[in-house]
Amino acid sequence: MRRKPGTLLPLEVDILHAGLQLRRDGVSRFHGFQLAKQLADHPRPRTLTAHGTLYKALQRLEEAGLLVSRWEDPQVAAAEGRPRRRLYELTGAGERALAAGQARHGQASTRPRLEPT
Amino acid sequence: MSTADRTTALVAWWVATYTRRLPVEVAARRRAELISDVWEQRAHGRAMGTPTAAVTLSILRRMAAGIPADLRWRHQQLAAAEGRPLRPGGRHLPHLLARSWWLVLATLLGAFQVVVGIGTALGGSDGAGILLPGDPAGATRRAAIITTGGLLALWGIAQRRRSRVAGDLLIAVGMLPPVAWLWVSGPAMIVSLLALTVTVAAVVQAAQVRRLGRRGAPLAADDRMRLGNAVVLVAVVAAAALLGRPTASALVVGLVILGLLAYVGLRRRRRTS
C-alpha cells in the first residue's frame, strides 16, 4: 500500500494502539509475536499478521522514532531455554502520534500524521 | 524431524535466503527476530493446547503472506547499504518480482510437474513411490495427473494475457497434484508447500480481479485472509482426493458447495455496499 508522505498506514496505527494497550495491561516492552497476538485479538479479531508485513512495519515505526527496541539480556533467554527476544517500547512521540490521530478523527483506526523526528 | 520442526526450518531457510548479501547486522537481526517469533508461536500453541497442525499452518501462512513485504524490504535494505536512492524506475525488477513472485513459482512448479510426470511415465514405476505416493500399480495414472497439472498451470500462465481470472484458476487447479505431496516426507513436502502457496495466491488474485470486495476497492485484507484459509483447506482435501481417498472426495464436494456459497455471499455484499 502506498502512503501519503507523513502519514501512518492502518497497520502502523494498529501497532501503536496495540503497544498502548499492552502498556496499560502492565507490559511496557513487548516482542514481535506478543504484538502479533495482541493485534489479532484487538481491536477487531483477525489472523496473525504475516512475518514480513509485521517486522517491516516495526522497522518503519522505529525509524520514525515512534518505537524503540533493544535485545533482551541473553542470560534471561538462556535461563528460560528460548531464543533471545527483540523488545519494543512505545515512545512519547508514538503515543502523541496515536493520540493526535484519535483526537482528530475520534477513533483508533485512523491515520495520524507522523511527527518530524 | 516433526512437521512443526520442518516448518521452522523452512522459515529459517526463507529468511536466510532473502537476507543474503545484506549488511551483517541487518540480516542477523531479522533472522533472530523471525526464529524467536516462530519459537514463541509454537510455545504459545502448546500452552493453549492448539493442535500442532493448526499452529504449523498458521506459521506457513504468515511466512507465505509476508513474502512480498520481505522482498520489498530486502530491496530497500540493499539500496540503503549501497547508498543509492529508491526510484520507481530503478526498482522495476524487484517491484515486479514482489508482485509476481507466485507466477515465477508457478512456472517452475508447472515445468517440474511435467518433467516428473513424463519421466515417471517413460521410466516405469521406479522411484514413483517417492514423488507419486500410493499403490505402485497406479503410478502411470498418477504420472498422467501430475503431467496434466503441470500443463494446466503452464497453460494458465499463458492464458492470463487473454483472461486473468481463467488463467489464475487454471494455475490453481494445476497446482493441486503437488499439494498431494504434503503427506510425503523429505524435499517433496517443500514442493507441496510451495504449490499450496501458489494455489492461494492464484485464487486471491482471481478474486481481486473479479473485485469481490466493495465496489471499486481491492479485496479487504481480512477477506483475503479468509479466502486464503479456505483455499488451503479445499486444496489440501482436493489433493487427498486425487490420491484416491473416498472420505476426502466426499469432503471436496461439500467444500466446493461451501466455496460457491462464499462466492455468492461476497458478490451480494459487493452489490449492497
- Domains in chain B: boundaries: 3-82, 102-272
Phi, psi torsion values for B161, nearest 5 degrees: -65, -35
B99-124 mean pLDDT: 78
DSSP state of A108: S
Share the mean pLDDT of chain A. 84
User: Cα Rg for chain B, rounded, in angstroms?
Assistant: 20
* Statement: residue B5 has pLDDT above 90: no
Distance linking the first and last C-alpha atoms of chain B: 49
Let me know: does B55 contact B2? Beta carbons within 8 Å. Answer: no
DSSP state of B182: G
CA-based angle B217:B218:B221, to the nearest 5?
Answer: 125
Share the mean pLDDT of chain B. 76
Q: What pLDDT is stored for residue B184 in this prediction?
A: 61
CB proximity list for B226: less than 8 A, separation 6 or greater = none
Nearest-Cα residue of chain B relative to residue A30: B37
Preceding amide of B94 cis, omega within 30: no
Nearest-Cα residue of chain A relative to residue B64: A50
**Residue B37: which pLDDT band, with cuts at 50, 70 and 90?**
very high
Q: How crowded is residue A50: how many other Cβ atoms within 10 Å of its Cβ?
A: 22
DSSP reduced 3-state for A29? strand
Q: What pLDDT is stored for residue B273 in this prediction?
A: 54
Range in A46-55, A67-76, B122-131, B171-180 with the lowest mean pLDDT: B122-131
Element containing residue B157 per DSSP (H, E): helix B139-159
Determine contact: A99 vs chain B, CB below 8 A: no
B58-82 mean pLDDT: 86
**Residue B253: which pLDDT band, with cuts at 50, 70 and 90?**
low
Provide the shortest C-alpha distance from residue A9 to chain B (in Å).
Answer: 13
* Statement: residue A109 has pLDDT above 50: no
**Residue B268: which pLDDT band, with cuts at 50, 70 and 90?**
low
d(CA A51, CA A105): 29
Range in A29-38, A85-94, B98-107, B133-142 with the lowest mean pLDDT: B133-142
Locate B140 and state its grid cell.
Answer: 502411470
ipTM above 0.95, yes or no: no
Q: pLDDT by residue (tens digit) across B192-207? A: 888 888 888 888 887 7
Range in A101-105, B20-24, B51-55, B224-228 with the lowest mean pLDDT: A101-105
Locate A34 and state its grid cell.
Answer: 506478543
Provide the shortest C-alpha distance from residue B11 to chain A (in Å).
Answer: 10
Q: Determine whether the interchain pair A32/B62 forms a contact, defined as Cβ–Cβ distance below 8 Å.
A: no
B245-260 mean pLDDT: 60
Let me know: does B232 contact B196? Beta carbons within 8 Å. Answer: yes
Name the fold adopted by A10-105.
Arc Repressor Mutant, subunit A (1.10.10)
* Statement: residue B95 has pLDDT above 70: no
Of B257, B100, B107, nearest to B174 by C-alpha is B107
Locate A54 and state its grid cell.
Answer: 509485521
d(CA A70, CA A1): 28
| Residues 23-82 (A) with a CB less than 8 A from some CB of B | 31-34, 36-37, 46-56, 59, 71, 82
Phi, psi torsion values for B83, nearest 5 degrees: 70, 25
d(CA B236, CA B243): 11
User: Which residue's C-alpha cell is 476497492?
Assistant: B217
Q: What is the DSSP string of B227-260?
A: HHHHHHHHHHHHHHHHTT-HHHHHHHHHHHHHHH
B86-90 mean pLDDT: 53
Nearest-Cα residue of chain A relative to residue B33: A86
Q: Determine whether the interchain pair B40/A47 forms a contact, defined as Cβ–Cβ distance below 8 Å.
A: no
Q: What pLDDT is stored for residue B87 in this prediction?
A: 56
Distance linking the first and last C-alpha atoms of chain A: 23
Q: What pLDDT is stored for residue B104 in this prediction?
A: 85
**Residue A28: which pLDDT band, with cuts at 50, 70 and 90?**
very high
Q: pLDDT by residue (tens digit) across A48-95? A: 999 999 999 999 999 999 999 999 999 999 999 999 999 999 999 999
**Residue B161: which pLDDT band, with cuts at 50, 70 and 90?**
confident
Nearest-Cα residue of chain A relative to residue B63: A51
d(CA A23, CA A95): 11
Which residues of chain A make contact with B61, given a CB cutoff of 8 A? 47, 50
**Residue B89: which pLDDT band, with cuts at 50, 70 and 90?**
very low
DSSP reduced 3-state for A72? coil
Provide the shortest C-alpha distance from residue B70 to chain A (in Å).
Answer: 5
User: Which residue's C-alpha cell is 533472522?
Assistant: B31
Q: Helices (DSSP H) in chain A: which residue ranges?
A: 10-24, 32-41, 51-63, 74-80, 92-105
Q: Which of A39, A51, A53, A85 to mutate to test the interface with B (most CBs of B within 10 A)?
A: A51
Let me know: does B159 contact B103? Beta carbons within 8 Å. Answer: no
Q: pLDDT by residue (tens digit) across B10-22? A: 899 889 989 988 9
Q: What pLDDT is stored for residue A15 in this prediction?
A: 92
**Residue B250: which pLDDT band, with cuts at 50, 70 and 90?**
low
Which residues of chain B make contact with A56, given a CB cutoff of 8 A? 69-70, 72-73
